[in-house]
Amino acid sequence: MRMLITGGTGLVGGNLARVAPSSHQVWVTDLAPASIYMPEVQWLPADLTKAQQVRQVFAQARPEVVIHCAAISNIDQAERDRDLAWEVNVEGSRLVAACCRDFGARLVACSTDTVFGGERGGYRESDEPHPLNFYGRTKVEMERLVAATVPSWAIARLSMVYGLPAVPGPPAYLARLLNSLQAGEAVRASDTEMRTPVDVLTVRDALLELAEGSHQGLMHLAGLDVLSRRELAQQVAAQVGADPALVEPEPPGPLPGKAPRPTNATLDCSLARQVLATPMIGLAEGLRRVLPKGR
């Protein structure tokens, strides 16, 4: 299958690009190529907010399926720079969706648990989105336009993906956490923000399965454990032999410069467990998969 992955230097996109060539002919696009790290894939640098560049990528790759991971995914950055977040997350996705329609490609797009307001948690695919922050708003709009544009599509809402990047770049959450814990530095995490974290390798495998299949509609990809961000960090500390007491609680209430977060954005992944062969797993197993051996 001819496959195009957007956002190939990100956490999810990079891990996809690392394994997809074993079974597919893969092109990867991002602002800057990373072919030095992945010579087995064909890199097409492009700005996905530029219509001509997007169409050139599609004309060159002629994909049968697109996995769309590219986004401004930092919630606080999206809140500060709303114009950029809208341009990338919405208008860029609009261009990708239109090209999928015009070139006859299936589209699998990545969304987020923060489309929900967090009033109760356990959200199913049928629940109405109600985002608290601008990042969530951009993803709700992305979901709407994908469903309205592309004949064959699936949208995966991801719940706090953790793991290590496949290509060098800004360190993801888990890498930053490991660096601090192993240096004996205290870290702060919320006791009240509840999530269903899922490891990036499970996400990778599930997205590939969605790309290869025909499921139409939304699907929640989430871990089986409901945890606060602090509990997650404490379990990481325990796994790597660091002192869990290094993980201190964040002060209650809104933090300066931080976008609002849903209190309980946990996702129900029953549909994924019914439809996919890729198992949704708990945190302990997920950490065993993604943590470097010998830590």
Position 200 in a domain: yes
**Positions in the chain whose pLDDT score sits under 50:** 294-295
State the CB neighbour count (10 A cutoff) for residue 152: 15
Position 242 in a domain: no
State the CB neighbour count (10 A cutoff) for residue 217: 12
What global pTM score does this model have? Answer: 0.95
Position 236 in a domain: no
Position 147 in a domain: yes
Q: How far apart are CA 91 and CA 16, in angstroms?
A: 23
Q: What's the pLDDT at 14? A: 93
Position 171 in a domain: no
Position 112 in a domain: yes
Q: What's the pLDDT at 295? A: 40
Phi-psi category of 163—alpha, beta or left, where left has phi over 0 and alpha has psi -120 to 50?
left
116 lies in which domain range? 2-165+192-227+261-290
Q: What's the pLDDT at 294? A: 42
Look at residues 40, 33, 73 and name the one whose alpha carbon lies nearest to residue 57. 33
CATH number for the domain harbouring residue 216: 3.40.50.720
Q: What's the pLDDT at 172? A: 83
Q: What's the pLDDT at 265? A: 96
Q: What's the pLDDT at 241? A: 93
Full 3-state SS string of the chain: CEEEEECCCCHHHHHHHHHHHHCCEEEEECCCCCCCCCCCCEECCCCCCCHHHHHHHHHHHCCCEEEECCCCCCHHHHHHCHHHHHHHHHHHHHHHHHHHHHHCCEEEEEEEHHHCCCCCCCECCCCCCCCCCHHHHHHHHHHHHHHHHCCCEEEEEECCEECCCCCCCCCCHHHHHHHHHHCCCCEEECCCCEECCEEHHHHHHHHHHHHHCCCCEEEEECCCCCEEHHHHHHHHHHHCCCCHHHEEECCCCCCCCCCCCCCECCECCHHHHHHCCCCCCCHHHHHHHHCCCCC
Joined tokens for residue 32: 């800057």
Kindly report, residue by residue over 256-282, the tens digit of the pLDDT: 778 999 999 999 999 999 999 999 999
Q: How far apart are CA 156 and CA 159, in angstroms?
A: 10
Position 187 in a domain: no
Split into its structural domains, the chain has a count of: 1
First to last CA, the chain: 37
Position 118 in a domain: yes
